[in-house]
Amino acid sequence: MRKTFLLIALFSFSLFAQKIETLAGGDEMIIGGFGGPTFQATSIAGETAFLMGGEGAMIVNHTFGVGGAGYGLINEIERNDNSVKSKIKFGYGGVKFYYVSNYDKLFHFTAALLIGAGGINEEEKDVITGHEEENETDKLFLLIPALGVEMNVTKIFRIEFAAKYRYVNGVDLENYSDKDFSGLTISLFFKFGRF
């Protein structure tokens, strides 16, 4: 009985130890994940703007990833029109796809694409009467391709510097257009995880 159990156990373990043939090839699939804060500098309506947010993703075979990201405007973008002073609120998030080349090199290239949605509204204040009014939020569609350079700091920490272009569609505010919110963005991403 004991010998039979031992033979069954050894046979079972040998089945699990065998390499699995797959359509995509390769010996095994390695799954990791990462996340962390992101800081961005860009231009909104001709003004310097800073956004802060976070990103997180699952990464397969050190190369392909899918996850999510979200950002919000952290400085004030103001417009003065006679006695009315207004400031913009802007944020967005979405699904993000990642590609990493030569992950094991100290410096390597990355590419990404964010497909998402966001919102923008304008808060107006009459400086004479003090009356405040918040306009209805415009719902936005965003498409953001990115190219970056990543540095391996430790096995669990990386820093990515990237250039992105933010395509925005759906701005319907009286004094702004899609063009005011589309543009080049420079970002710094601190990644923590198992790569």
Q: What is the pLDDT of residue 58?
A: 97
Q: What is the pLDDT of residue 17?
A: 43
Q: What is the pLDDT of residue 35?
A: 97
CA distance 96 to 164: 13
In a domain, 98, yes or no: yes
In a domain, 177, yes or no: yes
Q: What is the pLDDT of residue 4?
A: 46
Count structural domains, the chain: 1
Contacts of 9 (CB under 8 A, 6+ apart): none
pLDDT in tens, the chain (195 residues): 444 444 444 444 444 444 445 555 556 889 999 999 999 999 999 999 999 999 999 999 999 999 999 999 999 888 777 777 888 999 999 999 999 999 999 999 999 999 999 999 988 877 677 777 777 889 999 999 999 999 999 999 999 999 999 999 999 888 889 999 999 999 999 999 998
Q: What is the pLDDT of residue 173?
A: 85
In a domain, 12, yes or no: no
In a domain, 78, yes or no: yes
pTM of the model: 0.80
**Residue 69 sits in which domain range?**
23-194
In a domain, 2, yes or no: no
In a domain, 57, yes or no: yes
In a domain, 158, yes or no: yes
The answer to whether the CB of 29 falls within 8 A of the CB of 61 is yes
CATH of the domain at 185: 2.40.160.20
CA distance 97 to 121: 28
Exposed, middle or buried by CB within 10 Å (0-12, 13-18, 19+), for 13? exposed
In a domain, 184, yes or no: yes
